[in-house]
Amino acid sequence: MTESPTQSKSLLTPFNLVAGLILAVGAYVAFLRFSSGLAGIGAVGDSAQSQPWGMLISFNLMCGVPLSAGGFVMGTAVYIFGMKQYRLVVRPAVLVGMIGYFFAVVALLMDVGRPWRLPYPMVVQYGVTSVLFLVAWHVALYLSTQFVEFSPAVFEWLNWKRWRKVAVAVAVGAVIFGVILSTLHQSALGALFLITPTKVHPLWYSPFIGLFFFVSAIAAGICMVILESALAHRYFREKVEMTTEHLDQITIGLGKAASIALAVYFAIKVIGIAHGNTWHYLASPIGHWFLLELLGFSLLPCVLFAAGVRERRPRLIRWAAGLTVLGIILNRLNVSIITFNLNLPAEQRFQFHWKEVWLSLAVVMAAVLTYRWAVNRMPVHHKHPLYKTVH
Amino acid sequence: METTKTLFDFMTYTKGVTYLLAVLFMVGFTFFWLFLVDRDKK
Amino acid sequence: MCRVASSRHAPLGLSGAILLALGCNGSYQEERRVGAEIIVVRLPEAHGALQRPPVEFNHAEHAKEMQKDGCTVCHPEGGPGRLSLKLGRTDDSGGRDALIETYHGRCIGCHERRTTKNRKAGPPARSGPRTCGGCHVQRPTPTSARGRVAFTYALHDAHVKVAEEKCETCHAFYDKAQKRFVYREGVDGGCGDFHSSRDPKRLRELAHSTCVSCHRQRTAPGQKTGPTDCRGCHEARAAGKRPEKTPRLVANQPERSWIKAAGAKSRLVGFDHRGHEVQAPFCSTCHHKTLKACKDCHTLVGSVEGQGVTMASAYHLPSSAHSCVGCHQRQLAAADCAGCHERRAALPGRDSCVVCHRGPQPDKDVAAPATMPAAEGEVKLAELPPSSADFPDKVEIKLLASSFKPSTMPHRKIVARLDAAIRGNKLASTFHGKVETLCSGCHHRSPAGARPPPCEACHGKVDHPTKDQPALMAAFHRQCIGCHQRMGLKQGCTDCHTRAAKEGGR
Amino acid sequence: MIFSRRRFLGGVAAGAGALVATPAQGASHLHFAGHPGRIGLLHDTTLCVGCRSCEVACKQVNSLPPLVRPADDKSVFDKKRRPSDKSYTVVNRYRAGAGKTPAVYRKHQCMHCNEPCCASVCFVKAFSKTPEGPVLYDPSVCVGCRYCMTACPYNALSYEYDKLWDPRVVRCTMCYPRIKQGKAPACSTVCPMGAITYGRRDELLQVARNRIDRRPNRYVNHIFGEHEFGGTSWLFLSGVPFKELDLHEGASHTPLPELSKSFLSVVPLVLTIWPGLLLGIYAFSKRKEKLSQAELEQTVARVLAEADEQTKKKLAAAAQRAGKDKERAVALAVKKALAEAEATAKEADKEDPK
């Protein structure tokens, strides 16, 4: 068992205070939701009827899932492609992925009308014609898969040797299963909108939208790994084994991958416009907004990544990663909220309500705290003393 | 320029543009790759 | 759309396609209307398509901006006092490249000059675009609001006054013997009579150069002049009827005549030409481009000149704006008529033939007199009958008793209102020969005059979807409200019904 | 009776999730015509006067809260309304004040699509298209994800957001309970103008066509709902372009569920192709690793053998030379050789590609 050094420190750090405030108010809002229904967190009026998916779905689920793609991307790179030099970031990536998915499901539980029925598509009745059916199954299965992938760390922490052995043995199978699931549900999140050609703005709507979501999720996953490794290096120094040089090397390698992923993403987005022949929309204000997203948040970071890789500047790569993450969030919100139902009168379109936004933030904060808790205890960024030599 | 009236015309046009773009991106990619790995070789 | 591929400038095609794509219009565009002052500049068809989208040129804005400099800045003189309609040239003999060069040189040159001038003088910098995309903007194909010039009787009258009876100013026929333009009274219609069939383009040029040049030259103070901008003449506006005071135009037409043709079997129609003249804004309302009589081209079995339209169709085709029936039917859109006729629009009814065909039988040995006597066309309407059980004063309807008190329909008042409108209108009184004709406005599908069967006979408690027969309540409402809507009368629930006290919700 | 009581055989059985064999026959070029003889409603917007009697009747039949403002209060039309959990149908006014054109009213409610996308997107199959025509909803399985509302192109579905334990997706049921009793939907029976006609959908289409034929000037020559997104049970006639009534004029005739069909068809392919592909790549990278490992071991062995040879030679030489420091020299040589071997191994390691 590892000792947690944070126990000796005071709990009253500024971060903890802010986190506590967010969680406390969040708990109050969650109480409102579970005492007076979804109307309790602002789902009222024509806006909620025409825009049934609010922040909990559009942000926590739609953005949370692609930003948790790091686990499957790094798993593929290391275990399938055999890029052993990234082995050290696999575990943290899987942890981030697992927590990300878990809290996306938590948000979902807050949002659906009868949360206790969430397993229904798995056990009661199968709506096989629905893309959401895929998402439900895949998220559930993938969450389990990620637990298997991450379980060696938990078993090391708990010192359950036999269980660890089993978990390690099934690792490759789990990774392959995870890749299949991820390919499908990352794209399925986009494909959810295939059926709404009258609602999603034509610039964002495309028959390729599933592919767009998948490719951008790869970029998002890589960028989250870049950011997570850097932040962990900074804030959990005593827990991180990696040297600064090694981290920079990994960052540059990941930056290269991210720049390629973004270049592909940019190219298929442009081809998507050509495919739908929606060029003329670009000249409108909403077209400029689209161009801002496409040029400012995917082409620009792509170029920054490339420059950072070429000039060996990990800091630049980290900034580009941040920009990409923002870009993915912007894209998902554009599809599901900002340009959704643009032709409806304002009172029927999405309206931000502080309670829902707060709840959404609180879920994110809970995810961050869970991450901190795990990193402080489990062998995530370092090897467990007992298993130094094996991997 | 008249608006397109048939699927055939629409596809003729959009396919033309997408193929052209795809070729351009392929060429562009080569240079982008060379730009990326340029320093690795030295 | 994929013009680039077939363009003669193949090497430019590749880059062109991308540029084109960036400005390309979508495929599911709605119709886009532009004002009459917008001229869409394309190459003449012989020169092939433009590589870039056509330019939509706002003539009005340019003319306003260039007012001080005068029209000749752009339009050179094509003859004494006559402007060329073209930009910087009098004909298109130069070919494609020269043509493009003219436009680019003229437009961009001017825009550039104005920019440099303005730069010294300061704003406002209304200089115009100088880059390709500034003028060649990709837009969905426009539909112009430009209409045909509505040269009404009133306008004609105004021109006659100004031209001081010099008809040849406009009605100019080139007399080869005299080697000058003369007016041939009773022969010439407009320029179109001669030119439209030969060279419509020439007609357009002539009309513009003749009208606009004349308007432009009349600059002396106090001198009346006409518009020189596009909208001034081409803006579609309601033509209306001929004002009573404008004098009648005479071109050998009869005042009254029998419409007759060799081989026609129906009774002759007595036609009051003079009476119809004041009802039509133009000669061409009935006549097409020339002033020939209908039967000259529309022969009994149709002819090439008449585009195959037979005589019967020429007079009776309801869809035609030139035919008698077509024009009469269009009058039914007026509020006073629409109340009944929107629903009973299937004219001509079988019993309405005799309204016009009242003359002598064509095959009788006795020939009809050459002109029709004045009294022939007049109709006298009988007065409304007194109220009776068959013609009630008021009718009580108790259908919506649950929500409303019984509603009283002022039967006689309604008939009187319709009757008054008919009496005030010559066309209407001609066609509503009997008072009973009015009844069928509401009591449709039952013989006119007799006490009609009750509405419930057909309209039951529920509707009959396949027969498209509404239920009684809907039938009443459609009949009353529909008519009130079309005649612009009151349509509120409580205008007919009084609420029952207990019900508040409806 | 207008409907045939044909049972719908097909789909997925509830509970166990075993696929029931369907008698459906498929071919890519064929069109699914839907249940024959199904019913529909025709709304002639040229007749509608905006009296909202249909709203009142709908609320009574469905036991919904009564109108907030009286039906003849025209100010409700100032804002565009949509159906909600408090009123399953609303009438909106269009074109008011635009020039001299009179106002046009359109009733808005669930269209009961021929190929309902609410049904196709439901991941618990809570919706069903009845053979009679109405699309029905089963609240006993609904999770409340509201994807159906997101997907509906007519924005006709509403959620009971203010309920905590049993919120439902609600909307016009085409008065299914009433039509089962042989009665017409409430809205169609109360319309004072007869602007809503109830009947068999195919007959209504004929009625609508006849109306257009009889008065071509009154109507736009189009029946909205005949083909839009595969067609709807509610059909609309209009005297103004349908776009002005906020209907999807010019919409594709393809049913919306068809749009997700292509994606869903990829799923089983990915599930079967990916394992092979990924295992192939895995095997490839493993093999490469193994090869380089073998190569490494070989090199190490060779170097070690060479070093050994050298040591032996040196030993012999040293033995020949002999002396007191004999043993120390031997040790030194061994050390040096070992270091050399290690260096060679490292070099080999470097050459080994990732």
Residue C25 lies in a domain: no
- Residue D28 has a pLDDT of 74
Among B3, B16, B24, beta carbon nearest to C2: B16
| C223-274: pLDDT as tens digits | 788 888 888 888 766 556 666 677 777 777 888 888 887 778 888 888 888 8
Whether C477 and D218 lie within 8 Å, measured CB to CB? no
Q: Could you report the predicted ipTM of this complex, rounded to two decimals?
A: 0.78
Tell me if chain B has a CB within 8 Å of the CB of A207.
no
Determine the Cα–Cα distance for residues C342 and C340; give it in Å rounded to an integer. 6
Inter-residue contact C303 to C296 (CB < 8 Å): no
pLDDT at A233 over 50: yes
- Residue C52 has a pLDDT of 83
> Which residue of C20, C27, C30, C141 is the best one to mutate when testing the A interface, meaning the one whose CB has the most A CBs within 10 A?
C27
Question: How many CB atoms within 10 Å of residue A55?
Answer: 28
> Which residue of B8, B11, B13 is the best one to mutate when testing the C interface, meaning the one whose CB has the most C CBs within 10 A?
B13
- Choose from D97-111, D186-200, D321-335 the range with maximum mean pLDDT: D186-200
pLDDT at A305 over 50: yes
| Distance (Å) of CA C155 to CA B38, C166, C305, C349 | 80, 16, 30, 37
Q: Which CATH superfamily is domain A14-383 in?
A: Formate dehydrogenase/DMSO reductase domain (1.20.1630.10)
Domain layout of chain A by residue ranges: 14-383
Residue C3 lies in a domain: no
Provide the 8-state DSSP code for D29: T
| C395-415: pLDDT as tens digits | 888 777 667 778 888 999 998
Contacts of C54 in chain B (CB under 8 A): 1
Handedness of CA D346, D348, D350, D354 (dihedral sign): negative
Whether A46 and D259 lie within 8 Å, measured CB to CB? no
**Is C373 in the same domain as C261?**
yes
As for how many domains chain C has, the answer is 4
Question: How many CB atoms within 10 Å of residue A190?
Answer: 27
Whether C18 and B9 lie within 8 Å, measured CB to CB? no
Determine the Cα–Cα distance for residues C218 and C220; give it in Å rounded to an integer. 6
pLDDT at A329 over 70: yes
| D204-218: pLDDT as tens digits | 999 999 999 988 888
pLDDT at A6 over 70: no
pLDDT at C37 over 90: no
Q: Supply A246's token pair.
A: 């090694």
Q: Supply D275's token pair.
A: 């394992």
| C101-127: pLDDT as tens digits | 889 988 888 888 877 665 554 444 567
Lowest mean pLDDT among A98-102, C201-205, D29-33: C201-205
Mean pLDDT of D157-167: 91
| Distance (Å) of CA A357 to CA A28, A50, A59, D75 | 13, 18, 9, 34
What is the pTM for the complete model shown? Answer: 0.79
**What is the β-pairing status of strands C269-272 and C395-397?**
unpaired
| D290-333: pLDDT as tens digits | 888 888 889 989 998 888 888 888 888 877 777 666 667 767 88
Residues 1-40 of B with CB under 8 A from A: 10, 13-14, 17-18, 21-22, 25, 28-29, 32-33, 35-36, 38-39
pLDDT at C468 over 60: yes
What single string gives the DSSP state of each residue in C382-415? PPPPPP-SSS-S-EEE-TTTTTBPPEEE-HHHHH
Question: How many CB atoms within 10 Å of residue B31?
Answer: 9
Whether D206 and C465 lie within 8 Å, measured CB to CB? no
- Residue C160 has a pLDDT of 82
Angle at A271 between CA A269 and CA A273, to 5 degrees: 75
| D45-84: pLDDT as tens digits | 999 988 899 999 999 999 999 888 777 788 888 889 999 9
| A96-125: pLDDT as tens digits | 999 999 999 999 999 999 999 999 998 888
pLDDT at A2 over 60: no
Determine the Cα–Cα distance for residues C227 and C235; give it in Å rounded to an integer. 11
| C348-375: pLDDT as tens digits | 566 778 888 888 888 766 666 766 766 6
CATH number at residue C451: 3.90.10.10
d(CA A54, nearest CA chain D) in Å = 11
Q: Return all residues near C99 (Cβ < 8 A) that are at least 6 apart.
A: C43, C44, C47, C92
CA proximity to C432, closest of C419, C447, C442: C419
pLDDT at D19 over 50: no
Determine the Cα–Cα distance for residues D271 and D273; give it in Å rounded to an integer. 6
**Is C96 in the same domain as C163?**
no
- Residue D133 has a pLDDT of 92
Determine the Cα–Cα distance for residues D215 and D202; give it in Å rounded to an integer. 20
**Is C63 in the same domain as C140?**
yes
**What is the β-pairing status of strands C407-409 and D196-200?**
unpaired
Q: In chain C, pLDDT over 90 holds for what percent of residues?
A: 1
- Residue C505 has a pLDDT of 38
Residue C177 lies in a domain: yes
> Which residue of C32, C468, C472 is the best one to mutate when testing the D interface, meaning the one whose CB has the most D CBs within 10 A?
C468
Closest residue in C to D39 (Cα–Cα)? C465
Lowest mean pLDDT among A136-145, A285-294, C213-222: C213-222
- Residue C1 has a pLDDT of 36
Q: Which helix (H) or strand (E) holds D44?
A: strand D39-44
Determine the Cα–Cα distance for residues C192 and C283; give it in Å rounded to an integer. 13
Domain hosting residue C209, numbered range: 153-234
Q: What is the mean pLDDT of chain A?
A: 88
**Is C177 in the same domain as C207?**
yes
**How far is CA B10 from its chain centroid?**
18
**Is C263 in the same domain as C373?**
yes
Tell me which of C350, C377, C404 is where a domain ends.
Answer: C377
| C342 — pLDDT class (breaks 50, 70, 90) | confident
- Residue B23 has a pLDDT of 94
**All domains in chain D, ordered by first residue:** 39-255 (3.30.70.20), 266-351 (no CATH)
pLDDT at D201 over 50: yes
Whether B29 and A267 lie within 8 Å, measured CB to CB? yes
- Residue D231 has a pLDDT of 94
| D104-124: pLDDT as tens digits | 999 999 999 999 999 999 999
Mean pLDDT of A59-77: 91
Mean pLDDT of C48-59: 85
Tell me which of C326, C349, C377 is where a domain ends.
Answer: C377
CA proximity to A297, closest of A322, A260, A261, A270: A322
Residue C247 lies in a domain: no
**Is C228 in the same domain as C335?**
no
Lowest mean pLDDT among A305-309, C175-179, C236-240: C236-240
Whether B21 and A312 lie within 8 Å, measured CB to CB? no
pLDDT at D249 over 80: yes
Residue at C242: amino acid letter: R
Closest residue in A to B25 (Cα–Cα)? A267
**Is C263 in the same domain as C298?**
yes
Q: How many residues does chain D have?
A: 354
Contacts of B8 in chain C (CB under 8 A): none
pLDDT at C462 over 80: yes
| A36-51: pLDDT as tens digits | 888 888 888 888 899 9
